Homo-oligomer: A and B are copies of this chain.
Amino acid sequence: MHRVASALQRFADRLLARSTLTQEEVEAILDLKGAAFQARPNYDIVSPGESVHAACLIVAGLVGRFEQMQDGARQITAVHIAGDMCDLHSVVIPTMEWRLQALTTTTYLRIPHTELRRLAREFPALAEAFWRDCAVDAAMLSQWVINTGRREAICRCSHLLCEVALRSEYAGLGSRTSFPLEATQAHLGDMLALSAVHVNRTLQSLRRMKLIGMAGRHVEVHDWDELAALGDFDASYLQFLERPFPRTLLSA
């Protein structure tokens, strides 16, 4: 299946941006098998409390990591795009602590934990790469905290757009100045801890300032530098490196 192969390739590329891997190790990733599933918008891929035996690799679509309060209030704490293995954590913590829900129609592969564990065992450098990916995830979450906690709506929104822009660019889904973002304003509100109404007003000011254009579900960034400055955005936390980290850890 063509799209499955491209998802695995995207995942491998993501790992390669941060970790040094041999050809054999990359092949092992590309040879991963998993069953393909589809989720419709606003449907769960996995629910909190569930015991999972596979991790989800997104082939196409957009997925949110949801935390939820007793009273039903929701907060998206991370978004995942094509090529993301969105619950790599579950390999070491198989009890889901959050909800993964499709924001748009999403195709994904369920890659059995047994396969990922086998890879981690056979190729210590892959174990290291997986661990590193979880550490990058933590860095993104840490940014998400200051975003919701300290930044004003415009700044917050700009920061999110910058993050999605760069991640989309590196995933080969577009460029930082032109990329898809298939989320409703209500979804953006859940990401930004803003009401949908305020997201609307905030996006309007960004458009009025001629920083972005949003037609349909596609973002055009008219002035990247300005947007990044407004969003207090420094890309280093994403760890898209010119030179990936060396094989320091497990492969002596």
Contacts and interface: CB of A to CB of B under 8 A. Distances in A.
Interface of A: 49, 65, 67-71, 73-75, 77-78, 89, 91-95, 97-98, 113, 117, 120-121, 124, 127-128, 130-132, 134-139, 141-146, 148-151, 193, 232, 236-237, 239, 245, 248-250, 252
A71 to B, nearest CB: 8
A132 B143 CA distance: 21
Count of identical protomers in the assembly: 2
Nearest to A68: B146
Nearest to A94: B245
Nearest to A90: B135
Contacts of A132: 92-93
Given A92-B128, A120-B249, A127-B250, A67 B97 contact: no
Given A69-B232, A150-B75, A97 B252 contact: no
A133 to B, nearest CB: 9
Nearest to A249: B117
Contact of A121 (B75, B77, B124, B142): B124
Nearest to A148: B149
Contacts of A248: 113, 117
Interface centre among A75, A98, A232, by most B CB within 10 Å? A75
Nearest to A191: B149
Contacts of A236: 49, 95, 97
Contacts of A144: 141, 145
Contacts of A131: 92, 127, 130-131, 134
A129 to B, nearest CB: 9
B250 A121 contact: yes
A132 B132 CA distance: 12
A146 B97 contact: no
Contacts of A95: 236
A149 B54 CA distance: 30
A98 B245 contact: no
